[in-house]
A and B are shown apart, each in its own frame.
Chain A
Amino acid sequence: MSEMRALVGLLKQIDDQLVACMRCGMCQAVCPIYAETGLEGHVARGKIALLECLADEIIKDPAGVKERLDTCLLCGSCQANCPSGVKALDIFLKARAFLTGYYGLPPVKRAIFRGLLKNPRLFDSVMSIAAKFQGIFTRPVNDMIGSSCARVFSDLIGGRHFAPLAKRPLHDLASERDAPRGFSGLKAAFFYGCVVDKMFPRIGNAALSVFDHHGVGVYMPHAQACCGIPALSSGDRDTFEKLVAMNMALFGDHDFDVLVTPCATCTSTIKKIWPLMAEGLPDSTRFRIREMAAKVKDISAFLIQDVGVRPVDLPVVGEPVTVTYHDPCHLKKSLGISAEPRALIAANPRYRLVEMEGADSCCGSGGSFTLQHYDLSKRIGKRKRDNIVATGAHVAATSCPACMLQIGDMLSQAGDTLAIRHPVEIYAETLTGR
């Protein structure tokens, strides 16, 4: 019972945020999960009402509330559309941390977050061993998308068509670097993120070649730690804070102008969640984290706004390749960035952008949401797949490697043969094509 008291005490800390919800219910119009289930407990208003009940000790069953809270993509659609400006994501992340403190982490997550994520070197070596052996357990199913499915262990992997681990991760393919500012006068620290490192090193290579081409000095240390969002969204604040501290030690005192990431989720986490969760930390740490948050930028925004990338004059042979762009929630809804990735794609005249319906509706990935709620995630993903395919485009592009995984799974399962690319890859093709 004393733990329940402590939980109530913690929830009272966010009372001011909870009370801002006026129950208008407008979040029902935009929540991807509510669109599938129609259940009040799955939409922000319903979750906030339950948290208020828990804080007021009207609800005696925190497990039921936790289950509802976990049924959320953290896509931020509700927050972006809330008439009264309720900070739903802040609320949900904090409440998840409180409830996980109450119940503890499930053993598998504990093993992954505390054993692996907190230990970047160990994480790297485990994954490199896994990359060598994955062919034994899985088989390739779609050459265009590059996906695989389970050969054995299918009960663990389910029917997923997933992108395999890269044979060699980025941190193995590209050496650490710390080059001075080039002719652009800019120096970028490159935070490549776990998924790019281990699954899509080609995106990292594309980014590095673009930086070189435009005379951007790059600081890229290895042993980068995860941005922390998988741990925090599972309520593991302790691991999250350690990961932030590791990254701060690696990047905090270094000289660079912009912290660039090719991952929408990493960008949004560093920009918004790091300072949010630093509220209780000592002044000096908080200040440094805020400075880092101010420096982080999505790679497309950096290339268009700071480097000044413009359409490249290239001969176009034949019809241009059609490409449709999916707005990751963490880029458009969280940070308002939607024009720059499109501008980066448009910089390659060999591509023609065709908009899909609902380009900014969630793909259903939600990070580890897809692991816990695969069926729901798949239903949401299917809509995205249908919208992509309806454009007739050859290529699906997006700025978040996690969305790329989800979209790849959905397209591959439907037998579609679209290629999936990051805008920086599409732009990088202009460098070799001249």
Chain B
Amino acid sequence: MANHLSQKFEEIVGKGNVLASEVDRHNYSYDAAVLPPKLPALAVRPETPEALGRVVATCNELGLPLTVRGSGTNLSGGAIPSVGGVVALTGALSKIIEINEADMYAVVQTGVVTAKFAAEVAKRGLFYPPDPGSQAVSTIGGNVAENAGGLRGLKYGVTKDYVMGMSLYDVNGELVKTGSRTVKCVTGLNLHGLMVGSEGTLGVFNEIILKLVPPPKASKAMMAIFDDLGKASETVAAIIAAKIVPATLEYMDDFTIKTVEDFAHAGLPTDAKALLLIEVDGHPAQVEDEAAEVEAICKRIGATRIQVAKDAAERNKVWEARRAALSALARVRPTTVLEDATVPRSKIPAMIGALEAIAAKYRLTIGTFGHAGDGNLHPTILTDKRDHEEFKRVEAAIDEIFDVALSLGGTLSGEHGIGTAKSRYMVKEVGQGSILYAKRLKAALDPKGILNPGKITGE
């Protein structure tokens, strides 16, 4: 059976591009989520768009579950296949087809690595802002499927704000086109809008048209340290109230500060309660004004220390602490569970208070950092998945984190996706009606349910 199946796919993608050995199957059974692996029947690596389309059609014909995989960095299990299913790798579909400077858009294949694309765009004097934490390896296809965010979300938005259109394969392998290379386009249903964040459940992306913007001419970064959490969140609120939208506005809690300092020796005060990293960008004159105003706000509210970066080297130093946050936390215990429950920005103090209470209640270590400007915090639970008793408490804590986030008017996931990790909580946030609607939509587009089954709406 397995041999027969391999042969069938070899006819489509070529002999070297079907990976069906025991080790290959295990290698495509997981992603970056802390979830059990699932063993696919095989993985295929199409080298042409046509082959990709035929892979989709063949899976549908045979009723085989199909999961598309870029770099497998998803944190909610979106790239974990179904048992006995097919994994389609996009690594060989990684061409940047066009970067159009006059019309400020780009067309790419789905397997292009985000950071490589952003660097190519920067070389032409333009800017692709979405910068998810995994950008050095993540692919554009994965970013679109998960609607990835990043540090610049507050001012520049997230992946969905840059998708102008795409072509995709429907479940029968037919090519579907949506959107265009123009700023305005109301031709047909906004299908690309539907595809963003669909986690591979509604179609398989082929080419994506992305919006580009001019880069800011100047930027200024600063670090403000607080001895009181309330003052830090008051500062965030005051900056926004002053009608200043920083490019980034990052938060770090006391545990994270201590851990980063132990790890990176960046000179952070270990008795601090909270830290904000703020960067404003834009026209040089505006940047100067806004930086001065932000600094004044930090002082007025009572930051114990403010460090404004005077040059690129100092800016790098300010950012070093933030970049080290996850690395430093990840080294404390063997297993790192990175959550991304998100609340309206004004509810951040309440959320942080609740996280502290949850950590105490379940006797867990939780370090929290994240995007204070957009309410997207990353409570990071440090644990050991081999300790089953402790891991039960971790799961209970996650349940409660979601409950709190929802009660504050927030959402289950800011940027990591629902996948299989959070599908069972969906009903709490959106209600049964929304789930039914989504399921009917899925059933109409994918009658056999082969497209990344189990993701978002559950089995």
Contact = CB atoms under 8 A, between A and B. Distances in A.
A80 to B, nearest CB: 12
A25 B137 contact: yes
Contact of B137 (A16, A26, A68, A85): A26
Interface string A29-66: 10000000011110000100110010000111100110
A39 to B, nearest CB: 7
B32 A24 contact: yes
A58 B26 contact: yes
Given A39-B19, A85-B330, A25 B32 contact: yes
B271 interface: no
Nearest to B89: A38
B71 A85 contact: no
Interface in B23-63: 23-24, 26-32, 34, 37, 45
A84 B386 CA distance: 17
B134 A59 contact: no
Contact of B384 (A19, A28, A40, A59): A19
Contact of A19 (B29, B331, B334): B334
A341 B336 CA distance: 39
A85 B134 CA distance: 16
Given A46-B27, A84-B330, A19 B386 contact: yes
B23 A59 contact: yes
A50 B27 contact: yes
Contacts of A38: 45, 89, 91-92
A38 B384 CA distance: 30
Interface string B1-41: 00000000000000000010111101111111010010000
Nearest to A67: B23
Contacts of A59: 22-23, 26
A179 interface: no
A23 B32 CA distance: 5
Contacts, number: 84
A83 interface: yes
A339 interface: no
A196 B134 CA distance: 42
B136 interface: yes
B88 to A, nearest CB: 13
Interface residues of B, number: 36
Given A38-B91, A40-B72, A60 B22 contact: yes
A26 B136 contact: yes
Nearest to B326: A83
Nearest to B25: A59
A22 interface: yes
A30 to B, nearest CB: 8
A40 B405 CA distance: 36
Contacts of A294: none
Contacts of B23: 41, 50, 59, 61, 64-65, 67-68
Contacts of B385: 19
A23 B37 CA distance: 11
B26 A22 contact: no
Given A41-B24, A59-B26, A22 B330 contact: yes
Interface residues of A, number: 29
A20 interface: yes
Interface in A68-116: 68, 83-85
B335 interface: yes
Contact of B331 (A23, A28, A85): A85
A49 B134 CA distance: 19
Interface string B360-384: 0000000000000000000000001
B190 interface: no
Contacts of B29: 49
A41 B24 CA distance: 7
A20 B21 CA distance: 26
A24 B329 CA distance: 14
B73 A50 contact: no
Contacts of B91: 38
Contacts of A67: 23
Nearest to B37: A49
Contacts of A64: 21-23
Interface in B66-122: 71-73, 89, 91-92, 113, 115
A352 to B, nearest CB: 25
B30 A84 contact: no
Contacts of B326: 83
Nearest to B333: A20
Given A41-B24, A41-B27, A85-B330, A26 B134 contact: yes
A83 B327 CA distance: 4
Nearest to A21: B334
A280 B22 CA distance: 33
A29 B71 CA distance: 10
Nearest to A16: B334
Nearest to B21: A64
A83 B71 CA distance: 16
A30 B266 CA distance: 25
A83 B328 CA distance: 8
Nearest to B324: A83
Contacts of B331: 20, 84-85
Contact of B134 (A25, A53, A61): A25
11 contacts: A20-B334, A22-B330, A38-B91, A40-B72, A49-B30, A50-B23, A50-B27, A53-B26, A59-B22, A59-B26, A85-B327
Given A22-B34, A84-B331, 19 more contacts: A19-B334, A19-B384, A19-B385, A20-B331, A23-B72, A24-B134, A25-B31, A25-B71, A38-B45, A41-B23, A41-B27, A46-B27, A49-B26, A50-B23, A53-B26, A58-B26, A61-B21, A61-B22, A64-B23
Kindly list the 3 A-B residue pairs having the minimum CB-CB distance in the complex, ordered from nearest.
A84-B330, A38-B91, A64-B23
